[in-house]
Amino acid sequence: MSTVSPSGTRMDTGEDIAALETIRRGIRFSPELTEGFRTTLLLAVLAAVGQVVVPVAVQQTLDHGLGAAGGPDVRFTVLMGLAAAAAIAVTGVASYLMTSRLFSTSERGLATLRTKAFRHVHDLPLLTQNTERRGALVARVTSDVDQVSQFLVFGGLLFIVSLGQMAVATVVMAVYSWQLTVVVWVCFAPLFLSLRFFQRRLTAAYATVRRQVGAMLSAISEPVVGAAVVRSYAIEARTQRRIDEAVAAHQAASTRAQGLTAFSFSLGGISAGLANAGVIVIGIQLGLAGELTAGRILAFAFLVTLFVGPVQMGTQILTDAQNALAGWRRVIGILETPADLVDPGETGHDLPRGPLDVRFEGVTFAYPGGPPVLHDVTLHLAAGTRVAIVGETGSGKSTFAKLLTRLMDPSAGVVRLDGVDVREIRGGALRRSVVLVPQEGFLFDDTLRANLRYGRLDADDAALEAAAAELGLGDWLAGLPRGLDTRVGQRGESLSAGERQLVALLRAQLADPDLLVLDEATSAVDPALEMRLGRALEQLMRGRTSVTIAHRLSTAEKADEVVVVDGGRVVQRGPHAELVAQPGVYAGLHASWTAQHGDPAGSR
């Protein structure tokens, strides 16, 4: 655990996924999105048609009903009025149904996506989680997902409808004059070609925006979590500068992307201008050649607007979609980052109850791009033994614990529990049987009761109190003014570091594991309590295999076997009494320990 891994495993940013591919993969993760798609599309078409029918009906009423030669034609006016009313009703109902269906499928799909991404973050190795900053990870399951919703409701489907409208408009135009239709398409060709160019730019621009959102949230979350340090070192100004930089970078990226969007969108209008001019100029030429009449040219000019409308709508959706797609890509990026620690699932082995036999066979571990932290460790810990692992800070002790509990997998070699490769043990079974108590027990912002139950979900108050009593912590629990109802605060910060360790131990006690791994689990409690806990833990270890990463050699003295790690290798092993008599690393550690707890003041 001594090496940082700047080049460590990275979360997939998903930035290189193409637009259609993003949608395809997005749908694969959120199958709800395609539910009832045909009906919704039908409603969309109905709404689109209705939108055209209403003005036409009104137009007809005005021209032929009211303005009919020889006075208003009441009958026609009433008929057309009724037709228009029907069209208004159909349009309204169709677009209501369409939009509410879209909201429903989108939100359901996104909730699924969010939850899957959240779950996948937990399935990633701790290593990957560490390289991705916490705030940025939160952004991926919150803000990035939120971006997608607008596009799904107001974008995706309308884009398809726009394409349909363009096709219909093209056909109608072609019926009037195929030559002028070609002119219109030629005028729009540069726009369609430039779209590809702009899409690439926009994709990059919005990828930057989303990345900056993550960076910004990280910059904001850090001083909030580290509020105490920021205050006690009075580095508010520096911290604010870092946040301001992140905010400014996000602002700049957003503005740039918006500029590109506006520019790209404005090109549609220029193409429309060209098309109008082309239709008139070429139309006149064709007319002079006897191919067209003046009326047809004018009629065609109006048809062009039927084509331009959906083109502009489509361009707008396409450019606006880039922000959504960038967010979508990042969420998909999480889901497609391989979970290195693959749970074999239901096909995996179960572990029988009872103390576990532990074997390390040629285990080597290195962080990506770093030197090995453990070298070729081969070790057998018999079932039911109490083992202490000792060694200097940075010798590889914690790595040992993490491999044992499968928080990481070895770079080479195999870790076996009861003869089974840990990679082949069902995740649930492994966590049931193997529990690691880390140095810094994390507490959730909830009651003490809820935090203790983390160890065993169905434990009632009596069970919690019994566990505390067994570990000799009954007094501590009774001494808390609100007992089990005590709120522990964020990260458990209302409790002292020592008390947080007590909670972690109680959780392990409740979890009742067959292999208990303690990683300096009592480093922050007072000596008297630690010794009391030590005795209680001995009780807890009975009938289980236990591995204790010890920084106090009193623990080592009581262990059945001591394993001494130095420079990533096991250099000594055996009972305390035997090791302390040999010259070597252990004797040195022991001397230092005695020096610490000997009493120099008294000896002077």
Partner 1 sequence: MSRGRSRSTTRRGFAVLGVAIRRERWVFAASTLGSVLFGALTVADAWVLGWATDHAIVPAFRDGEVGTGVLWTVVALFVGVAMLRAVGIVARRLGAGVMQYRMQAHDRRAVTRQYLALPMAWHQRHPTGQLLSTASSDVEAAWGPIAPLPMAVGTIAMMVIAVAQMLAADVVMAVVGLLVFPAVVATNLIYQHFTSPLMTRAQALRGEVSEIAHESFDGAMVVKTLGREPEETERFAAKALELRDVNIRAGRIRAAFDPTLAALPNLGVLVVLAVGVSRVLSGATEPGDVVTVAYLLTIVSFPIRSLGWLLGEFPRSVVGFDRVRAVLGATGEMAYGDRSFPHPDRGARLEVAGLSYSHADDQTLLRDLDLVVEPGRTVALVGATASGKSTLTSLLARLVDPDSGAVTVDGVDLRDLARGELAGTLAVVPQTAFVFDDTVRGNVALGAAVSDEAVWHALRTAQADGFVAALPDGLDTRLGERGTSLSGGQRQRLALARALVRRPRLLVLDDATSAVDPEVEARILAALRRDGGSDGTSDDEAAAPDTTLVVVAYRKATISLADEVVFLADGRIADRGTHAALLARNPAYARLVNAYEQEHPLSDEPAGPVTPGTPGTPEEARP
Which pair of tokens denotes residue 410? 């070895």
* DSSP category for residue 390: E
Which pair of tokens denotes residue 76? 């026609």
Give the amino acid at 589.
L
Cα 44 from Cα 161, distance rounded (Å): 7
Q: Using CB under 8 A, which residues numbered 290 to 309 contact partner 1?
A: 293-294, 297-298, 301
Looking at the Cβ atoms of 146 and 361, the one nearer to partner 1 is 146
Question: Does 600 contact partner 1 by CB under 8 A?
Answer: yes
CB of 475 to partner 1, least distance (A): 11
Looking at the Cβ atoms of 17 and 84, the one nearer to partner 1 is 84
Cα 24 from Cα 151, distance rounded (Å): 15
Q: Using CB under 8 A, which residues numbered 327 to 356 contact partner 1?
A: none
* List of residues 6+ apart from 401 with CB closer than 8 A: 389, 436, 517, 519, 547, 549
Helix (H, G, I), strand (E, B) or coil at 214: helix
Question: Does 139 contact partner 1 by CB under 8 A?
Answer: yes
Cα 242 from Cα 230, distance rounded (Å): 12
Q: Using CB under 8 A, which residues numbered 511 to 530 contact partner 1?
A: 511, 520, 523-530
Note whether 106 and 152 are within 8 A (CB): yes
Torsion angle of the four alpha carbons 318, 320, 323, 326, in this order, in degrees rounded to the nearest 10: -10
Cα 179 from Cα 320, distance rounded (Å): 33
Q: Choose the stretch contacting partner 1; rule: CB under 8 A; options: 166-174, 326-334, 540-548, 580-588.
A: 580-588
- Options 60, 104, 179, 364; binder of partner 1; rule CB under 8 A: 104
Looking at the Cβ atoms of 26 and 283, the one nearer to partner 1 is 283
Looking at the Cβ atoms of 17 and 282, the one nearer to partner 1 is 282
Helix (H, G, I), strand (E, B) or coil at 524: coil
Residue keyed to tokens 């591919």:
21
- Options 26, 310, 348, 455; binder of partner 1; rule CB under 8 A: 455
Q: Using CB under 8 A, which residues numbered 354 to 373 contact partner 1?
A: 367, 369-370
Cα 234 from Cα 228, distance rounded (Å): 10
* Count of other CB atoms within 10 angstroms of residue 342: 12
Q: Using CB under 8 A, which residues numbered 35 to 64 contact partner 1?
A: 47, 54-55, 58, 61-62
Give the amino acid at 341.
L
* List of residues 6+ apart from 146 with CB closer than 8 A: 327
Looking at the Cβ atoms of 169 and 219, the one nearer to partner 1 is 219
**CA distances from residue 366 to 110, 123, 277 in whole angstroms, order as listed:** 37, 20, 68
- Options 361, 376, 470, 557; binder of partner 1; rule CB under 8 A: 557
Give φ, ψ of 412 to 5 degrees: -150, 155
Q: Using CB under 8 A, which residues numbered 171 to 200 contact partner 1?
A: none
Question: Does 152 contact partner 1 by CB under 8 A?
Answer: no
Looking at the Cβ atoms of 167 and 229, the one nearer to partner 1 is 229
Q: Using CB under 8 A, which residues numbered 244 to 273 contact partner 1?
A: 244, 247-248, 250-251, 254-255, 258-259, 261-263, 265-267, 269-273
Binding flags for partner 1, 107-136, as an x/- string (CB under 8 A): xx-xx--xx--xx-xxx--x--xxx-xxx-
Rounded to the nearest 5 degrees, what angle is found at the Cα of 377, between the Cα atoms of 376 and 381? 160
Looking at the Cβ atoms of 187 and 570, the one nearer to partner 1 is 187
CB of 537 to partner 1, least distance (A): 13
Q: Choose the stretch contacting partner 1; rule: CB under 8 A; options: 172-180, 358-366, 416-424, 582-590.
A: 582-590
Q: Using CB under 8 A, which residues numbered 16 to 35 contact partner 1?
A: none
Give the amino acid at 130.
N
CB of 18 to partner 1, least distance (A): 25
Question: Does 165 contact partner 1 by CB under 8 A?
Answer: no
- Options 72, 352, 362, 575; binder of partner 1; rule CB under 8 A: 72
Residue keyed to tokens 């939108």:
51
Question: Does 554 contact partner 1 by CB under 8 A?
Answer: yes
CB of 304 to partner 1, least distance (A): 10
Q: Choose the stretch contacting partner 1; rule: CB under 8 A; options: 9-17, 176-184, 348-356, 591-599.
A: 591-599
**CA distances from residue 255 to 14, 197, 258, 259, 323 in whole angstroms, order as listed:** 22, 19, 5, 6, 12
Judged by phi (left if over 0) then psi (alpha if -120 to 50, else beta), residue 376 lies in: left
Cα 50 from Cα 474, distance rounded (Å): 74
Q: Using CB under 8 A, which residues numbered 387 to 406 contact partner 1?
A: 392-394, 398, 405
CB of 107 to partner 1, least distance (A): 5
